[in-house]
Amino acid sequence: MKRKKFLQKTALSYGILNLPLRSEGKVEEETKTEIESPWLEAEDLTDLRTQLVQLQSDSKEFKLTGNWSPGKVFAHCAQSIEYSLKGYPEMKSSFFRGSVGKVAFSIFAFKNKMNHGLEEPIPGAEDISNATELKVGIKRLIQAIDDFSKAKESSLRPHFAYGDLTKEEYDVAHSLHIKNHMERVLV
């Protein structure tokens, strides 16, 4: 399914699920902080790969907030892409993947923004050391993106929470995942 058609199909779901909350007759307003970062402007994995290559050659000032080291964050993002190629170690129920998971992904794709626990490992995933060096994490993520770009759609495995995704949808999911983590970049 083409991205435009996919987004059109999710518009209704998004509209229903994103109705404003009412409290004492007033609409609660969201406070939004606009962060200017080339990471957040990336359109897809290709754009993110370009930024990773640039960072690989000049990474001395790269820092993130939170408890995870930048190397661990990049390795975690790589791990997610790797699992989309070989299969996730633990899956949510098929009911969850076909309902809540699909709706969540549709909303993320429609908003072009993901929100998830930024220090939660992938369920059942091999532990990644917080001592993972930045350049090691970047190299692993670049390799995962390269492997993903070469993969045929038919070889992709279901996402542990979103279920079956096309290659284009997976590109969106992985890109949003990386960008969500990059919201913690200290500039």
> Concatenated DSSP letters for 36-51?
--HHHH--SHHHHHHH
The residue among 17 and 148 whose pLDDT is bigger is 148
Mean pLDDT across the stretch 113-137? 95
The predicted-structure confidence for 79-103, as pLDDT tens digits, reads as follows 999 999 999 999 999 999 999 999 9
> Concatenated DSSP letters for 109-176?
HHHT-----TTPPPTTPPP--TT--HHHHHHHHHHHHHHHHHS-GGGPPPBTTTBS--HHHHHHHHHH
Instruction: Please tell me the distance from the alpha carbon of residue 80 to that of residue 125, in angstroms, as a whole number.
Output: 9
The predicted-structure confidence for 62-76, as pLDDT tens digits, reads as follows 888 999 999 999 999
Quick one: pLDDT at residue 113? 94
Quick one: pLDDT at residue 131? 96
The predicted-structure confidence for 20-60, as pLDDT tens digits, reads as follows 333 334 333 333 344 567 788 889 999 999 999 999 888 67
Please give the model's pTM, rounded to 2 decimal places: 0.81
Q: Is the pLDDT of residue 9 over 70?
A: no
Q: Is the pLDDT of residue 16 over 50?
A: no
